[in-house]
Homo-oligomer: A and B are copies of this chain.
């Protein structure tokens, strides 16, 4: 039996050198199109694969009465390169996650408290709209505009999961109104009225 131990030790040693089961993000190393650099395996611990940042409710004391807390590779380094990430949505009564897209991933939503009305719009402009109850799932195909709205008179909570460790997040209102894109160009490319644009630029801190 001593020999069995021995031969297996050899197997392990030889395989060790070529093993990379995972690539925990080293946030300070160079990034590539495939994600963050890998932290040295000798420095990896189980805590790299566990994330507690979504266990507490986000702050919904604001106008949208909602909060979004991401667990992407930048927050949860163990996800890097594994094709998955997550976020938590808290929606107070009346809370809304406004129209947005994830340029790099599809999304599955799980309601864990309350009820949420969600929809996505397809390339053919069809609306897929449904109110999702606790324990139900809804999937949003990659890159399409979608939103979530609290459907009940108390706090709703959902977790969403993405098919990439870096899904991206583009909130439509911010893309349009929270930067220095000129009102004239926004008007020309959205057909919104000038007054409407200026109003939302004012609210969201845009200029021009």
Contacts and interface: CB of A to CB of B under 8 A. Distances in A.
A149 B188 contact: yes
Contacts of A79: 108, 139
Contacts of A99: 176, 189-190
Contact of A4 (B26, B64, B71): B64
Contact of A143 (B61, B129, B168): B168
Contact of A62 (B3, B15, B67, B108): B3
Contact of A38 (B4, B6, B32, B161): B32
Contacts of A17: 70, 72, 74-75
B163 A63 contact: no
A72 B18 contact: yes
Instruction: Kindly state the interface size class of chain A when it binds its partner.
Output: 35 or more
B101 A101 contact: yes
Contacts of A62: 3-4, 6-7, 10
A193 B196 CA distance: 7
A88 B124 CA distance: 19
Given A15-B124, A142-B143, 20 more contacts: A12-B178, A18-B166, A20-B168, A21-B104, A21-B123, A21-B144, A22-B122, A30-B30, A33-B35, A33-B36, A47-B130, A50-B130, A54-B135, A83-B163, A84-B139, A104-B142, A143-B143, A145-B176, A149-B188, A161-B161
Interface of A: 1, 3-12, 14-23, 26, 29-38, 41, 45-47, 49-52, 54-56, 59, 61-64, 66-76, 78-86, 88, 96-99, 101-108, 110, 112, 117, 119-130, 132-145, 147, 149, 159, 161-164, 166, 168-176, 178-181, 185, 188-193, 196, 199-200, 202-205
